[in-house]
Structure 1
């Protein structure tokens, strides 16, 4: 036995389970069998199949009597590993004992219970059942669990007490609360550090104890009765395991971390070029311009599905794209999956048979906001090929990225039939397969280019196709801003680390300068920096009042200065699944007060951020996690970890703090990410005599090659700082990938903040160096000719 879950301990576990939690009295045990890699348990109404993926991930499927087991998963990409486990059966129970998750299946009454490290994690209640035309799997909760998940919603961080509809649907103009948004997920995470992923595509509900009976229930109209239980010793470990199961986000192109010029929308080639020119005249950094639906039609109504440049408004798109690219600005086009019957491509779409069908196998047409339409059947291979061919042609023209809008799909009649099922069976995975189509097309046709795929809807695991989601048509309101950190924090826990918002808010003609500035300041510390809105009130800072423009410029310039830090976060997300925005309970998992906090969060490992989400406020109370001390990023003031303080708000920034002992890679000022190179990099170390030994990382590659890390075309700078007996030692170690023969880093500027006093001496690899210093920082030019460089600073 791995942990001895047998004999006396098994009896205790079972007695506790029976005395506290309900079971299914109608499900009767018949027989069980241990097979290579799995265990099969037959009951009177079907069978259970349990199999390990890793010691910390186990899958359970219930196959009702008369049904065939469907092995197809749209979410899971991990192959089950060989996980040793000990199988035992006695008259009372069956046990699976591993180095990670253990399972106890009691026979009478029948119940499945999971343990980890000797502690009970969760148990099935009735397990599988059917009621009111819904198929259900339910579980027992303890009374104190906090629950997260269900996708993108604005309900407060703790989502327990809600019955969440699993149906991707736009919510136009939402504010501080939205029960249903564009991107739903059948995933639940618990403050007990486990996750349940219900591995099924059709629509349904996720009931997080709405009846207050300590019960969690997954409800669906049809499909698989399969779930994976994922556990972890820490929150980082839990998210690592979940993204190991469902896939991790590939590195985006470096330019995707810059500033976007975007609105609904640019009407002409002239308007696009003039807007970009305005950015460059004002010296406000910008890396991409997004063209909304006017690129293919002069009117909002009746033109969707043209999917080709309107040559009246955009007479020379090739030249426009080329000219923008010479200025370091990429072109991104919106596309939708709807082909209107009035569009130029309607007859082609019908002739090529790429549209979803009605019951007579004719194109299903219906009315929605933009006109009478058909829907591309993204599940039909010939439709995918037809759609991809359009992307390929425009990509060859020079288009650098894609915006997939309305991909819930926004209107999706349940009578409509797809190649692989009904609308309700595949609705929630439409965006997933749309992103997959573009991602795999790039992999085949443009293997040297990282795709940029901005989409409003997807499914569990869509991150592995490079899908970058945003939070939909949020209102231009303080309530709309207030909801954004929660939405991004929740989605980061669920594997979608690039969830972000239309900065400034999208819906409504609300010209509120303070709201706009605070939203753009928040945007510095959210995954994608993309102001976007209805055009009556400009979303671009270059068209705002002078004082607003100046504050926006300051925020955007900071965003660019943080490019190496943000890019390193993107790297860690791609290899570890770690969110870019992280809840405070990552720092203090035992502090239950933090499990409901979204108005403060961590930006990577080093920053503590608290957005300003209320008008007319001059101060804000900040909690500083006890794991370290924190320094005001702008004035250097020190705050003790574990304390709470009231800080005064400033017009030019939101409250931002850096962890004591942190290494923060930054860049010299840039106008576009095209200007970035290793020579731009600065390393900022935030000295704290109480920090002890700390570490940091810089990831560097060319910013565009897919799978550069996997191919060995990268380098890492590892930093280690240690303060001991009044001396600070910093060690920088270079690690080159197998394809790199020469490092891009020959020297680097090291900034030491809060040094306290002028040092008596500074040595680099034993050689005494001269340096510049002020009261607040020490600046050292560090040569990096060796694999390991040691900087010794003696006071």
Structure 2
């Protein structure tokens, strides 16, 4: 009997579990291994609160390779006991109840309360072919509580936050960035370590993942709350590096600036208008133009339109601005790197974008492919130009002229459909790690169109893709950004104004009152995204195209950009919380208010950091906007200082230039000086605005703003606490130091009620009574 038929029999054993019942198990390091229902099952504790479950058919001896898990097991005391037909595994935080007859695994808190059930007979392997070779379609079923809210899966533009009672095809494409992962309101998360095209479904019968491969391999993480789960997924898959301060400024872009002079002139005009900017972005086709785009992504510059790249970037830098340059994973057949990649069998055999160019993606799964891609990019652009950031477009990658057999194409890691969803992760990794190896002091900044859980390790900022410029799409950005962030991926943004704006040309374009309002509302949302970036096609996006100073659309944009810059001390300190303490920028409200059930499905609002609640307006021509202020805190209207008791829904009056913002009582928010770029002025007289009503704290973080010396301890933290009873702000003793640190400074301490005091600070504790 051949191997493939044996696999079929073992698959039948799983579907008819009474044929084979496990009676014994073996102790392994921090866990057990048993055979049940035709499977080898290995259960092992990675930490007291993280468990790995690995299942294969007994006919397979397969250890699932991983692209994202970077941590070995930590020493954990695990007790194993067999009682009344069940096997119990217990750590200090979790107990697992394993049924060796049915294969079920019940995850319990240490106090015995239920978290999740890996169902009886819930794992099924079905034979399939992938690339002409035997693989399995693997179905894993779990049982949740009836009203248990879950989140995650990634950026899905369906306008929903809670993922219960839904089904989703997990195939990373433009505007659709997913990972097989979910988080529960009960404080646990599950990550299936699998990179194939997959499916997720939740219904009354249970929750399931259906993936391709040879092993079911998942991690159960109990964090107690959402922040705890995010911390654990980052521990497993990689911590988030700091971005430079300038990366939190304003970026101007469009599809596209056709010459080096054009982009320089844009920066000059913004400077003349006193509109702050930190980044100008160069989109595609800066390379030599050729019929049908056949020199696509050649890592070179057109001699006529970009005659002197060194002069170009020098001019940009002299204007105190950074330059981000696009690169694609697809290679055109007349590009110079095509031949060496083809000779090394490093071209994946399906069409990418542009549709008729002949461009095809390189094999990112092959380490040689990553190495050669960086060598080409480094030689053609980075080594002599030292551009400040990368825009890695089409990292899904784009797939044109699609044929079913394309997904069977072999890659270094196996058939394409079994590893597709990891493409962006590995492409971003290749650029980031090679750039750091070339210049270890660089803080890598990457804007990318796709992603996968773990990509946060490479400084990648994912954007939502080429969405159409509609109100419906603006509305969908909000819950999509939150579910993306809940995967532990903190850096996200969208094209301000929406990418595809061609439809607005017939109604006046950037002079259309409705498009102007859409653009401004999108900018208000972008102000509170982790990257603030204007971009799109069909219509130009620079501020002067929408009017002039004194007109509502122009003034509203200017207000947004200036507010972004005044918040930089708050944003940069939040960035440190993300990197050092596994914090999250764009926080679904249930993260901070899990006891308030009204937050569980609320995807129209979020906290930016831990103090500023943002309620983006996503409808046209409204005069009022419904806002829910969560129970568990009191809130202050940022614009009026009006106090609202938590647990209240209000209709907040809004004009076109106002986004509803509410500050949590007890917050301390530092505001920086008015600047034209992020590092223009020192933070030697920050305004510390206190919102009383509860005790509160904040840590002001500072470093050298651009290099990696912070990783060697070159940074400072200034702890601040507000005592509500005493009405006193304590600016604590500074911790740490770095080159260029302010040793003397002032803080202007204000409350939202009008009290104000100026204090000098030299690093020693200061108390301010208000």
> Would you call these one fold, judging by a TM-score over 0.5?
yes
Following TM superposition, by how much is the alpha carbon of 1:303 offset from its aligned partner in structure 2, in angstroms?
A: 3.3
Deviations along 1:504-548, whole A, 9 cap, x unmatched? 1101322310101111111111111011100x3112223221222
Q: Cα RMSD between the aligned structures? A: 2.1
Answer yes or no: is the 8 Å Cα contact 1:489–1:598 preserved in 2. yes
State how far apart, in whole Å, the 2-side matches of 1:23 and 1:702 are.
63
Residues 1:789 and 2:766 aligned together:
yes
SS of the counterpart of 2:734? strand
- The structure 2 residue matched to 1:521, chosen from 503, 519, 524, is 524
Residues 1:684 and 2:689 aligned together:
yes
Following TM superposition, by how much is the alpha carbon of 1:676 offset from its aligned partner in structure 2, in angstroms?
A: 4.2
Residues 1:103 and 2:96 aligned together:
yes
Deviations along 1:594-625, whole A, 9 cap, x unmatched? 21111111111111110010001001121112
- What's 2:179 paired with? 185
Residues 1:701 and 2:706 aligned together:
no
- What's 1:333 paired with? 325
Deviations along 1:106-129, whole A, 9 cap, x unmatched? 234442111014211111222321
Following TM superposition, by how much is the alpha carbon of 1:206 offset from its aligned partner in structure 2, in angstroms?
A: 1.5
Residues 1:539 and 2:541 aligned together:
yes
State how far apart, in whole Å, the 2-side matches of 1:275 and 1:782 are.
41
- The structure 2 residue matched to 1:310, chosen from 294, 297, 302, is 302
Following TM superposition, by how much is the alpha carbon of 1:365 offset from its aligned partner in structure 2, in angstroms?
A: 6.3
- What's 1:760 paired with? none
- What's 1:374 paired with? 360
Give matches, 1:388-407, under 5 Å: 388-393=374-379, 394-396=381-383, 397-407=385-395
Distance 1:742 1:667, change over 3 A: closer
Following TM superposition, by how much is the alpha carbon of 1:373 offset from its aligned partner in structure 2, in angstroms?
A: 2.1
- What's 1:505 paired with? 498
Answer yes or no: is the 8 Å Cα contact 1:661–1:694 preserved in 2. yes
Answer yes or no: is the 8 Å Cα contact 1:701–1:715 preserved in 2. yes
State how far apart, in whole Å, the 1-side matches of 2:524 and 2:255 are.
22
- What's 2:744 paired with? 746
State how far apart, in whole Å, the 2-side matches of 1:124 and 1:314 are.
58
SS of the counterpart of 2:59? coil
- What's 2:463 paired with? 470
- What's 1:772 paired with? none
State how far apart, in whole Å, the 1-side matches of 2:167 and 2:626 are.
32
Greater mean deviation of Cα atoms: 603-612 or 648-657? 648-657
State how far apart, in whole Å, the 1-side matches of 2:760 and 2:397 are.
54
State how far apart, in whole Å, the 2-side matches of 1:252 and 1:366 are.
31
Following TM superposition, by how much is the alpha carbon of 1:742 offset from its aligned partner in structure 2, in angstroms?
A: 7.9
- What's 1:50 paired with? 43
Consecutive unaligned residues in structure 2, runs of 5 or more: 1-14, 129-136, 510-514
Deviations along 1:642-682, whole A, 9 cap, x unmatched? 22222110332200111122111221111111314332533
- What's 2:245 paired with? 254
State how far apart, in whole Å, the 1-side matches of 2:31 and 2:436 are.
35
State how far apart, in whole Å, the 1-side matches of 2:298 and 2:248 are.
30
Consecutive unaligned residues in structure 1, runs of 5 or more: 1-21, 172-180, 359-363, 756-775
Following TM superposition, by how much is the alpha carbon of 1:24 offset from its aligned partner in structure 2, in angstroms?
A: 5.6
- The structure 2 residue matched to 1:609, chosen from 610, 614, 631, is 614
Number of equivalences: 724
Distance 1:79 1:264, change over 3 A: same
State how far apart, in whole Å, the 1-side matches of 2:17 and 2:245 are.
53
Deviations along 1:756-790, whole A, 9 cap, x unmatched? xxxxxxxxxxxxxxxxxxxx341x22211242222
Following TM superposition, by how much is the alpha carbon of 1:719 offset from its aligned partner in structure 2, in angstroms?
A: 0.3
Residues 1:409 and 2:397 aligned together:
yes
Following TM superposition, by how much is the alpha carbon of 1:497 offset from its aligned partner in structure 2, in angstroms?
A: 1.2
Following TM superposition, by how much is the alpha carbon of 1:272 offset from its aligned partner in structure 2, in angstroms?
A: 0.8
Following TM superposition, by how much is the alpha carbon of 1:295 offset from its aligned partner in structure 2, in angstroms?
A: 1.3
State how far apart, in whole Å, the 1-side matches of 2:621 and 2:157 are.
23
State how far apart, in whole Å, the 2-side matches of 1:370 and 1:441 are.
31
Answer yes or no: is the 8 Å Cα contact 2:326–2:392 preserved in 1. yes
- What's 1:130 paired with? 125
State how far apart, in whole Å, the 2-side matches of 1:46 and 1:92 are.
18
State how far apart, in whole Å, the 1-side matches of 2:755 and 2:529 are.
27
Distance 1:549 1:647, change over 3 A: same
Answer yes or no: is the 8 Å Cα contact 1:747–1:781 preserved in 2. no
Greater mean deviation of Cα atoms: 296-305 or 68-77? 296-305
Following TM superposition, by how much is the alpha carbon of 1:366 offset from its aligned partner in structure 2, in angstroms?
A: 7.2
Residues 1:643 and 2:637 aligned together:
no
SS of the counterpart of 2:679? helix
Give matches, 1:696-775, under 5 Å: 696-706=698-708, 708-724=709-725, 727-737=726-736, 740=738, 743-755=741-753
SS of the counterpart of 1:371? coil
Distance 1:250 1:67, change over 3 A: same
Following TM superposition, by how much is the alpha carbon of 1:740 offset from its aligned partner in structure 2, in angstroms?
A: 3.6
Deviations along 1:81-135, whole A, 9 cap, x unmatched? 1111211113511101211121011234442111014211111222321247421
Following TM superposition, by how much is the alpha carbon of 1:415 offset from its aligned partner in structure 2, in angstroms?
A: 3.4
Distance 1:465 1:257, change over 3 A: same
- What's 1:592 paired with? 597
- What's 1:244 paired with? 235
Deviations along 1:253-302, whole A, 9 cap, x unmatched? 11110111111111011211111111111111111111111211447833
Answer yes or no: is the 8 Å Cα contact 1:305–1:344 preserved in 2. no
SS of the counterpart of 2:331? strand
State how far apart, in whole Å, the 1-side matches of 2:721 and 2:194 are.
45
Distance 1:610 1:367, change over 3 A: closer
Answer yes or no: is the 8 Å Cα contact 2:64–2:214 preserved in 1. no
Distance 1:120 1:732, change over 3 A: same
State how far apart, in whole Å, the 1-side matches of 2:37 and 2:345 are.
44
Distance 1:253 1:493, change over 3 A: same
Distance 1:367 1:274, change over 3 A: closer
State how far apart, in whole Å, the 2-side matches of 1:371 and 1:586 are.
46
- What's 1:158 paired with? 162
Give matches, 1:331-370, under 5 Å: 331-351=323-343, 353=344, 355-356=346-347, 369=355
State how far apart, in whole Å, the 2-side matches of 1:370 and 1:555 are.
41
Answer yes or no: is the 8 Å Cα contact 1:147–1:208 preserved in 2. no
Answer yes or no: is the 8 Å Cα contact 1:130–1:136 preserved in 2. yes
Answer yes or no: is the 8 Å Cα contact 2:628–2:647 preserved in 1. yes
With normalisation by structure 1, the TM-score equals 0.88
State how far apart, in whole Å, the 1-side matches of 2:272 and 2:16 are.
69
Deviations along 1:714-772, whole A, 9 cap, x unmatched? 00010011132xx42211123333x64884241222232234xxxxxxxxxxxxxxxxx
- What's 1:4 paired with? none
Answer yes or no: is the 8 Å Cα contact 1:40–1:49 preserved in 2. yes
Residues 1:618 and 2:604 aligned together:
no
SS of the counterpart of 1:130? strand
Distance 1:159 1:323, change over 3 A: same
